C-alpha cells in the first residue's frame, strides 16, 4: 500500500511506507550473520596478545635509566625484541592506556561498553587508565532511514504509517546498541522511537561468552583485581539493556515511585507500539542543563531544579533502592514548570534493603563529617578478599574523609569524588565492592556536575543533608518499622508452633545421649545438656532469622538460663 510523504514538524521529509533500502545500503546494513564464534575468538585473543606485547613495549620505554639493569630487565628486553614484531605499528608507539582504548574501539560495540564500565572502576584500575577509557567513542554510523522504517514495520507487523503520522529522517542519536528517531502518532502525540540495531543481540551474546572465558583466564593471572567477577557483573547489565521491555518496566516503576512528586517526570511508555526490540515513548520537551536556556533560568527556578534533582537522586539511592545507573547530562532535561525529566532508563542499579540502609548511614556520616563511622559503614559493605585488612582500610578511609572535610569549600567539594577515592583504597587492603556502588557514585558525580552547571557555588553536602534527614525519618519511622514487623507475623507464629516439637526432639536426643552411663555418672553430663539445649536454641534462632532475629535470640537465651537455674 503506497503513501505520500508526510512532513515532520521540523520540515524534514518523512518517507512513508517500508521502502526497501538500496542495494548499496543493504550490502552494508543488512542483518548478515555475525562472524562465527571461532573467528571472533581468534580476533579477540589477537587483540589481547597484541595488548600484552604492546604493553610490554610501553613499560620498557617508560622505565627510568636507573632501573634499566639486572637479569629481569635484560630478559624482558630480549623477549620484547621478538614480541614487538607481532604488534601493529599504529599501536606500538602509544602509551598502554591509549593502546587499550584503541583496541577496545577496534573490537566493537561490546568492548566499547566494557571499557565504559571499566572507566568507572577507579577502585580497581589505575587513574591514568580510567581517564583514558573515559574517552571511548560510543557512536556508530546510523542506519539508513528506509532501513530503520523497515525494521519498525517488522516489529509492528504492519506499515508504520498506519500508526505514525511521520517519522523524522534524521536520527536524534545512533549509539552502539540502538538508534533513535522522533515521530508523531496519528492523534498528534510527539513520541520517540528507539530501535535495537540489527545483529546487535547475536554479537553481544557471542562476545559475552568470549569475555567470560577471558575473565576466567585473567583471574589466574590477576586474581587481586577479580576480573571474572567484574566481567560477570558487566555481562548481566549489558544483556538486560538488550531487552526494551525491561526498560519500559523501569520507566513505569520510576514513575510509580515518584507519583507523589509532580516536579519529577519520566517518559510515558506506549506499550501498544513497543516490543522487546522497539520502544515507543513520550517525547519530553525541555532543554539540557548545560544549554543557553538553562543559564537564563531565574534564581528561584534554578534553585527549584537543583532541589528537585537532589531529592530525586537521594530518594532513588537511599529510599527506593532503584536508581538510574546511566546518568549523564544528556539523559537529564530541564522542563517548563520547572520540572526535571529523566531519559534512557535501560540501565538501572538495585540495592537490597540491608545494603541500602548501610549506604544511607554511610552517606549521612559523610555529609555530617563523621569520618570514623563513615569508614566503618563503608568497610561493612565491602567483601574482604584473601589477606584482607579491614582495620587498615578503615584508618585509610578516615584519613581521606578528614582531609576532604578540612580542605572542602562550597564551590569545590565533590562527595562523589570522595567516595570514589575511598573505594580506590580498597584494592590495596583487599576490600572489594559491588558494581552497584560504582554506579551509585556515577549518579552522584553526575548530579554534582549538573548542579554546578546551574550554580557554580553549589554546596552539595549542605543540600544533600536536608533531603537525607527526610529519608532517614522515612526509613526509621516507628510506624513503618512496626509494619515491617507485622509482615513477619505469619513466620513468627509458624515458628512458635514449632518450638514444642523442637524442644521435644532436643530432649529425646539428650536422653539417647545419656542412656549409657559412663564410668563417672556425672562426667560430661553438664556439657551434654548444654550441647543439647544449645542445639535447640540454635534452631530457634535460625527459625527467627528472617523477621525477628533479636526476639529469637532472647528466647533462646531465656530458655538456657531457666535450664541452668533448674539443674
pLDDT(312) > 90: yes
Q: Tens digit of pLDDT for each residue in 69-98?
A: 888 888 999 999 999 888 888 888 899 999
How many other CB atoms are there within 10 angstroms of residue 341's CB atom?
Answer: 18
Copy the grid coordinates of residue 426.
580498597
**Of 295-299, 311-315, 554-558, minimum mean pLDDT range:** 554-558
In whole angstroms, give the CA distance from residue 50 to residue 83: 9
Q: Is residue 320 part of a domain?
A: yes
The answer to whether 431 and 445 have CB atoms below 8 angstroms apart is no
Task: Specify whether 226 is located in the same domain as 360.
Answer: no
How far is CA 80 from each of CA 87, 96, 153, rounded to the nearest angstrom?
A: 11, 15, 55
Q: Same domain for 509 and 411?
A: no
How confident is the model at residue 521, as a pLDDT?
A: 45
Q: Are residues 291 and 220 in the same domain?
A: no
| Pair (447, 545) in one structural domain | no
User: What grid cell was written down for 407?
Assistant: 580542605
CB count in 10 Å sphere of residue 118: 22
Q: What mean pLDDT is reported for the chain?
A: 78
Is 6 among the domain residues?
Answer: no
3-state secondary structure of 566: coil
pLDDT (average), residues 422-451: 84
Give the pLDDT confidence score for residue 487 in this predicted structure: 56
What is the four-CA torsion angle of 383, 389, 393, 395, rounded to 10 degrees? 140
| Bigger pLDDT: 120 vs 487 | 120
Q: Is residue 467 part of a domain?
A: yes
In whole angstroms, what is the distance from residue 164 CA to residue 181 CA? 12
Residue 204 · residue 218 · CB < 8 Å: no
Domain boundary among 447, 476, 505: 476
Helix (H, G, I), strand (E, B) or coil at 274: coil
Tell me the mean pLDDT in the region 349-353: 86
Does residue 246 form part of some domain?
A: no
**Residues 400 and 312 occupy one common structural domain:** yes
* Residue 549 in domain: yes
Whole-number Å distance between alpha carbons of 76 and 388? 32
Tell me what percent of the residues of the chain surpass a pLDDT of 90: 28
Alpha carbon of residue 260 to chain centroid: 26
Choice among 30-34, 147-151, 388-392, 415-419 with the minimum mean pLDDT: 30-34
High-pLDDT (> 70) share of the chain, %: 75
Peptide bond preceding 338 in cis form (omega within 30 of 0):
yes
**Count of domains for the chain:** 3
Q: Is residue 32 in some structural domain?
A: no
Asked whether residue 250 is domain-assigned, the answer is no
Which helix (H) or strand (E) segment holds residue 164: the answer is strand 164-167
Do 469 and 396 share a domain, yes or no?
yes
Which one is predicted more confidently, 566 or 338? 338
Q: 330 and 363, same structural domain? A: yes
What crossing angle do the helices spanning 70-83 and 37-62 adopt, rounded to 10°? 140
Do 448 and 504 lie in one domain? The reply is no
Name the helix (H) or strand (E) containing 183: strand 178-185
Q: Which of 444, 476, 508 is the last residue of a domain?
A: 476
Instruction: For Cα atoms 248, 249, 251, give the angle at the middle one, nearest 5 degrees.
Output: 65
The grid coordinates listed for 193 are: 522511537
Same-domain status, 454 and 540: no
Are residues 444 and 336 part of one domain? yes
Is 37:205 a contact under the CB 8 Å cutoff? no
| Residue 504: exposure state from Cβ atoms within 10 A (0-12, 13-18, ≥19) | exposed
Give the pLDDT confidence of 270-295 residue by residue, as tens digits: 999 999 999 999 999 999 988 889 88
Predicted local distance difference test score (pLDDT) of residue 490: 62
At 476, is the pLDDT very low, low, confident or very high (cuts 50, 70, 90)? low
Element housing 204 (H / E): helix 200-221
Which one of 476, 507, 532 terminates a domain? 476
Is it the case that residue 125 has pLDDT exceeding 80?
A: no
Residue 373, in any domain of the structure: yes
- The predicted pLDDT at position 423 comes to 87
**324 and 388: one domain?**
yes
The residue range of the domain holding 42 is 37-139+203-238
Helices (H), 37-95: 37-62, 70-83, 89-92
Q: 296-310, 415-429, 520-534 — which is least confidently predicted?
A: 520-534
What number of residues does the chain have? Answer: 567
Nearest to 281 by CA among 343, 198, 200: 343
* pLDDT score for 42: 84
Residues 131 and 225 in one domain: yes
What are 244-247's contacts with CB under 8 Å, separation 24+?
244/194, 244/196, 244/274, 244/275, 244/276, 244/277, 244/278, 244/279, 244/346, 245/274, 245/275, 245/276, 246/346, 247/279, 247/345, 247/346
Q: What's the pLDDT at 510?
A: 64
Cell of 109: 560495540
Amino acid at each position: 500500500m503506497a503513501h505520500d510523504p508526510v512532513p515532520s514538524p521540523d520540515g524534514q521529509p518523512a518517507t512513508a511506507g517500508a521502502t526497501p533500502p538500496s542495494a548499496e545500503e543493504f550490502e552494508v546494513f543488512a542483518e548478515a550473520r555475525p562472524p562465527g564464534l571461532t573467528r571472533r575468538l581468534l580476533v579477540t585473543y589477537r587483540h589481547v596478545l597484541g595488548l600484552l606485547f604492546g604493553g610490554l613495549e610501553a613499560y620498557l620505554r617508560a622505565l627510568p635509566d636507573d632501573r634499566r639493569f639486572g637479569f629481569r630487565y635484560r630478559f624482558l628486553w630480549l623477549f620484547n625484541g621478538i614480541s614487538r614484531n607481532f604488534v601493529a605499528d599504529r599501536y606500538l608507539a602509544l602509551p598502554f592506556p591509549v593502546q587499550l582504548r584503541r583496541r577496545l574501539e577496534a573490537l566493537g560495540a561490546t568492548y566499547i561498553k566494557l571499557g565504559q564500565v571499566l572507566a568507572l572502576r577507579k577502585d580497581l584500575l589505575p587513574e591514568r587508565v580510567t581517564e583514558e577509557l573515559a574517552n571511548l567513542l560510543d557512536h556508530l554510523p546510523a542506519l539508513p532511514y528506509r532501513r530503520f522504517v523497515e525494521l519498525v514495520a517488522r516489529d509492528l507487523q504492519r506499515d508504520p504509517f498506519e500508526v505514525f503520522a511521520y517519522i523524522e529522517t534524521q536520527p536524534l542519536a545512533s549509539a552502539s546498541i540502538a538508534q533513535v528517531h522522533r515521530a508523531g502518532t496519528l492523534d498528534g502525540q510527539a513520541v520517540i522511537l528507539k530501535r535495537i540495531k540489527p545483529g546487535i543481540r547475536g554479537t553481544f551474546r557471542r562476545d559475552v561468552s568470549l569475555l567470560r572465558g577471558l575473565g576466567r583466564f585473567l583471574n589466574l593471572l590477576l586474581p587481586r583485581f577479580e576480573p571474572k567477577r567484574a566481567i560477570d557483573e558487566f555481562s548481566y547489565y549489558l544483556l538486560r539493556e538488550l531487552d526494551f521491555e525491561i526498560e519500559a518496566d523501569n520507566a513505569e516503576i520510576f514513575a510509580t515511585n515518584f507519583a507523589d512528586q509532580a516536579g519529577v517526570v519520566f517518559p510515558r511508555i506506549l506499550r501498544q507500539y513497543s516490543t522487546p526490540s522497539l520502544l515507543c515513548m513520550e517525547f519530553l520537551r525541555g532543554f539540557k542543563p548545560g544549554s543557553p536556556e538553562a543559564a537564563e533560568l531565574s534564581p528561584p527556578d534554578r534553585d527549584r531544579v537543583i532541589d528537585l534533582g537532589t531529592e530525586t537522586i537521594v530518594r532513588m539511592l537511599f529510599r527506593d533502592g532503584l536508581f538510574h545507573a546511566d546518568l549523564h547530562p544528556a539523559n537529564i532535561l530541564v522542563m517548563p514548570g520547572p520540572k526535571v525529566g529523566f531519559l534512557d532508563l535501560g540501565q538501572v542499579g538495585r540495592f537490597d534493603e540491608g545494603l541500602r540502609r548501610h549506604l544511607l548511614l554511610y552517606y549521612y556520616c559523610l555529609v555530617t563529617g563523621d569520618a570514623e563511622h563513615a569508614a566503618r559503614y563503608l568497610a561493612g559493605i565491602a567483601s574482604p578478599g584473601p589477606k584482607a585488612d579491614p582495620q587498615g582500610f578503615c584508618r585509610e578511609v578516615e584519613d581521606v574523609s578528614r582531609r576532604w572535610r578540612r580542605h572542602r569549600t562550597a564551590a569545590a567539594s565533590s562527595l562523589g569524588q570522595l567516595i570514589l577515592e575511598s573505594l580506590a583504597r580498597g584494592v590495596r587492603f583487599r576490600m572489594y565492592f559491588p558494581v552497584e556502588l560504582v554506579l551509585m557514585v556515577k549518579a552522584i558525580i553526575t548530579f554534582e556536575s549538573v548542579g554546578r552547571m546551574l550554580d557554580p557555588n553549589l554546596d552539595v553536602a549542605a543540600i544533600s543533608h536536608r533531603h537525607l534527614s527526610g529519608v532517614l525519618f522515612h526509613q526509621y519511622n516507628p510506624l513503618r518499622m512496626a509494619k515491617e514487623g507485622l509482615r513477619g507475623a505469619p513466620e513468627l507464629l509458624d515458628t512458635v508452633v514449632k518450638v514444642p516439637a523442637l524442644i521435644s526432639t532436643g530432649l529425646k536426643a539428650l536422653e539417647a545421649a545419656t542412656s549409657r552411663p559412663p564410668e563417672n555418672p556425672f562426667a560430661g553430663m553438664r556439657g551434654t545438656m548444654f550441647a543439647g539445649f544449645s542445639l535447640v536454641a540454635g534452631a530457634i534462632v535460625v527459625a527467627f532469622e528472617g523477621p525477628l532475629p533479636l526476639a529469637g535470640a532472647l528466647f533462646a537465651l531465656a530458655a538456657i538460663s531457666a535450664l541452668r537455674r533448674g539443674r
